[in-house]
Structure 1
Amino acid sequence: MLQHKIIDMEKGPWKGENWWVSQFNFEKEVLDTLELPSKVLIHDSTLRDGEQAAGVIFTKDQKVEIAKMLDNAGVQIIEAGFPAVSPADQEAIRAVCNADLNAKITCLCRAMEKDIDLAKKCGVSGAIIEVPVSYPRLKYQFEWREEDVIEKALRVVSYAKESGLEAHLFLIDSTRARMEFLESLVTRAVKEAGSDKVTVVDTNGCINPPGIKYLVKKIKSWVNVPIEMHCHNDFGLGVANSLAGVENGAESISCTLNALGQRAGNSSTEEVAFALECLYGVKTGIDFYKLYEVSQLVKRLSGWSFPPNKPITGDNLFTWEAGIPTAALMKNPHTVEPFQPEIFGRKHEIKLGKKSGKANIHWKLRELGLTLPEERIEKVLEDIKQKAITFERALTDEEFIKIIEENSK
């Protein structure tokens, strides 16, 4: 019979005051497969890649407000925009740079000297220099030779460094590039031009976590500079792929609040940061109460709605209607939830509907400051279920109060 080490389930990195996740995340056999960096930086791109979502526009003042709140939440790097888009974007980036933030401010640049000049004038500390690298993009979109891309990248990375900026080599569509070309480009950009960072970009969201692990390991074997992940979410794997990169040594993640972005969006800032904290034990320095606040601001300003069951920040994440889990929630919320709403300054919400049980009624009575004899609970529950079926929805507090009044006569 196999023998397993007996652990104290109440004590360990899997359990905090407001969360309780799987202890298997922290098994030695699991940890031995990972190459986690000592620290992971969050590089929020809401103001650039998030704004590229169709129909979304943030004003200068809105960008400054979002940036201040991100900074206050502990985000270490903020991508403030793309200066080449318009003079208005340049003005907004300058305003963010002048907001006296602790976070480093970056902006996106094409592999063109004039874009580096714009970045310098805006006052950013880092230029994210984008170069297309995938076979289909080079052949069918840009009609560039691989040698031309290498020449452009070396020239503009060197120019950015000479201009006093950090240079981030941003490899558009990395996950569909020829490996031989990618190795030559990355190696030369770092060793000859002095690129400070290499960003792996899954532009089409079309790779799986094992593929990301393979690619990051390859790049880490070529150069000794920080690797950043920038993953899109077309197959719903943006967060998983970002974390897979970190598992193999990537030191930062480029992401957007609420996963805002083109098509299916990007890796979600709040999801990757909270997963790092709870599932990997990696400290991010993020205040999740404040991060939730800015995520809600972005939700309002963008005009985009999100599913109520969206991970981490969904409106219904801590909402219960079914009776059995509500009863468990009253005993100990860790039984039915991996983390608690207090982390985000939120609270539980209990609905009364077809699937409710007596525990729902007790919760609501306490919440609303009402009383009801125990012997009448069963009748009230029957009335709630019948009305919910008739209305085809959960009941409002006013409708519940009316039922209580009718059963108190």
Structure 2
Amino acid sequence: MIELNPKSNVLEEETYRYSLQDVEAPNLYRDVYPYSEVPKVPFNHRRVPMNMPEHIWITDTTFRDGQQSRAPYTTKQMVDIYKMLHRLGGPNGIIRQTEFFVYSEKDREALYQCMELGYKFPEITTWIRASKSDFQLVKNIGIKETGILVSCSDYHIFNKLGMTRRQALTHYLSVVSDAIEAGLKPRCHFEDITRADFYGFVVPFVNELMDMSRESGIPIKIRACDTMGYGVPYTGAAPPRSVPGVIYGLQHYSGVPSRLLEWHGHNDFYKGVVNASTAWLFGASAINCSLFGIGERTGNVPLEAMVIEYASLKGSMDGMDPTVITELAEYYENEIGYRIPPMTPFVGENFNVTRAGIHADGLLKDEEIYNIFDTKKILNRGATVSVSNVSGLAGIAFWINNYYRLSDDECVDKKDPLAAKIKEWVDKEYEGGRQTVISDEELCALVAQYAPDIAKHRA
């Protein structure tokens, strides 16, 4: 039987409806995940269409997954960060939601204080396990949406929960039903989806949820969780590792609309950001992130990365204020005491710093040669150099101009005697066995000695 597909507007064979395969033994995909070897990436050469939604957005898990790998935030820190997320996401709510734990008094107090601010965005949501005792914790808080853990791989169903697929499905549907009866919008977290039997359990389960959604009139979100970072963005890769295949399958075989489809990735194999972008491109409206990628093991998809990805894909910030990214990085360093790795894109100490003299010479001539974009305008962090034994005269001249914010007619170049005097001092330091870079304080002392008029610019 054929029917007109309202999405593609062409005649297609009637979509097959998958039913639950209630197997006796778990399917652990040992050919793909042998455990004693690096996981394999099989291909079936099936291609699915790119289906970028008209509207895409970011959701935040800084206060939930982001707290599972570091010391807990204080209530004040959570409120401060929430305020900055609000400013970063802008009036259009590109950072659409953020989720909180509700298990401790501190987390609940932070949640209440953030709710009292009255911000529309990010909307405050919660997260619970799929148990009725957890459900009671959030029932009366006054929020509109809660996340519910619905682990979907046989690793979890059989080996952690000790259930069959049918038992797990029945249990999950019961908890989701309880949330709907309480007037909450459920967000189902399909944990470990990239090791799950996609057509034997995931799709049949989502079909049941979509039926429940239609009958109740309550939207049920599907969060596809690449819990171990196994997802791959490659064209023609086979399930369960294929990110395009997962997103396409949820839409095509379960009818999940883009607005109810969310991707939650981890970075165990360095694919967090590219997998998230792929999920956007193939039909998910929401990408779940944490600030600076802080999260379980190797971390989550970095929120600041997806802010930049959004602008790259949509051609606009759509009201977001990316300079807040730098404020957040400074807050983490100075107020929280969290050390951001120096090479971290967009926020690390060295992300737009060069040490090589030849690079510094390029920066002096045209900043675009060695800076990824106008970091001063977009992130409120101008390109700079770090002076070492390889900086050369150009690196020293660039540091002087940048540090003292010299105007065009005041700038020194690499032929300036001041640069030569400082380079002579620097060369002697490294000839004497020095291994570290020259500090700003040391360079300031030299400028004060050799060019006091320039030193007055920072007085």
The interval holding the TM-score normalised by the smaller chain is: 0.7 to 0.9
Partner of 1:98: 116
SS in 1 for 2:287: strand
**Aligned partner of 1:71 among 67, 86, 91:** 86
Which structure 1 segments of 5+ residues have no match? 1-31
Q: CA deviation at 1:126?
A: 0.9
> Where in structure 2 are the equivalents of 1:8-407 lying within 5 Å?
34-54=50-70, 56-74=71-89, 76-83=95-102, 85-103=103-121, 104-179=123-198, 180-193=200-213, 194-210=218-234, 211-221=242-252, 222-225=254-257, 226-279=260-313, 281=315, 283=317, 285-300=319-334, 302-342=336-376, 343-366=378-401, 367-368=403-404, 374=416, 377-378=419-420, 380-389=422-431, 390-400=433-443
SS in 1 for 2:147: strand
State the alpha-carbon separation in 1 of the partners of residues 178 and 436 from structure 2. Answer: 61
Question: Would the aligned equivalents of 1:388 and 1:394 in 2 still touch at CA under 8 Å?
Answer: no
C-alpha spacing 1:132/1:333, structure 2 compared with 1 (3 Å): same
State the alpha-carbon separation in 2 of the partners of residues 393 and 341 from structure 1. Answer: 26
What code does the residue aligned with 2:256 have? N
**C-alpha deviations, 1:188-247, integer Å up to 9, x for none?**
112224552110101111222231111111111122332101101111211111111111
**C-alpha deviations, 1:128-159, integer Å up to 9, x for none?**
11111111111211112111222122222222
C-alpha spacing 1:76/1:361, structure 2 compared with 1 (3 Å): closer
C-alpha spacing 1:396/1:64, structure 2 compared with 1 (3 Å): closer
What code does the residue aligned with 1:89 have? D
Which structure 2 segments of 5+ residues have no match? 1-47, 235-241, 452-459
Q: CA deviation at 1:403?
A: 5.4
State the alpha-carbon separation in 1 of the partners of residues 87 and 447 from structure 2. Answer: 45
Q: CA deviation at 1:68?
A: 1.6
State the alpha-carbon separation in 2 of the partners of residues 127 and 311 from structure 1. Answer: 32
What code does the residue aligned with 1:201 have? C
Q: Which has the higher helix share?
A: 1
State the alpha-carbon separation in 2 of the partners of residues 204 and 287 from structure 1. Answer: 31
In the comparison of the two structures, how many residue pairs are matched? 375
Q: CA deviation at 1:371?
A: 6.8
State the alpha-carbon separation in 2 of the partners of residues 63 and 70 from structure 1. Answer: 10
What code does the residue aligned with 2:251 have? K
State the alpha-carbon separation in 2 of the partners of residues 291 and 397 from structure 1. Answer: 24
**C-alpha deviations, 1:62-113, integer Å up to 9, x for none?**
2222112211221533334222x22332332222222211211111022233
State the alpha-carbon separation in 2 of the partners of residues 260 and 296 from structure 1. Answer: 15
C-alpha spacing 1:299/1:260, structure 2 compared with 1 (3 Å): farther
State the alpha-carbon separation in 2 of the partners of residues 257 and 48 from structure 1. Answer: 11
State the alpha-carbon separation in 2 of the partners of residues 228 and 299 from structure 1. Answer: 30
More moved, 332-341 vs 255-264: 332-341
State the alpha-carbon separation in 1 of the partners of residues 224 and 368 from structure 2. Answer: 36
State the alpha-carbon separation in 2 of the partners of residues 338 and 374 from structure 1. Answer: 28
Question: Would the aligned equivalents of 2:332 and 2:339 in 1 still touch at CA under 8 Å?
Answer: no
State the alpha-carbon separation in 2 of the partners of residues 335 and 376 from structure 1. Answer: 25
SS in 1 for 2:280: helix
SS in 1 for 2:59: strand
What code does the residue aligned with 1:49 have? D
Question: Would the aligned equivalents of 2:129 and 2:148 in 1 still touch at CA under 8 Å?
Answer: yes
Question: Would the aligned equivalents of 1:111 and 1:130 in 2 still touch at CA under 8 Å?
Answer: yes
TM-score, length of structure 2 as denominator length: 0.75
What code does the residue aligned with 1:115 have? D
SS in 2 for 1:250: coil
C-alpha spacing 1:160/1:300, structure 2 compared with 1 (3 Å): farther
TM-score, length of structure 1 as denominator length: 0.83
C-alpha spacing 1:296/1:398, structure 2 compared with 1 (3 Å): closer
State the alpha-carbon separation in 2 of the partners of residues 41 and 358 from structure 1. Answer: 46
SS in 1 for 2:208: helix
The RMSD of aligned alpha carbons is 2.6
Question: Would the aligned equivalents of 1:80 and 1:93 in 2 still touch at CA under 8 Å?
Answer: no
Identity of aligned residues (%): 26
What code does the residue aligned with 1:126 have? E
State the alpha-carbon separation in 2 of the partners of residues 277 and 405 from structure 1. Answer: 43
Question: Would the aligned equivalents of 1:97 and 1:124 in 2 still touch at CA under 8 Å?
Answer: no
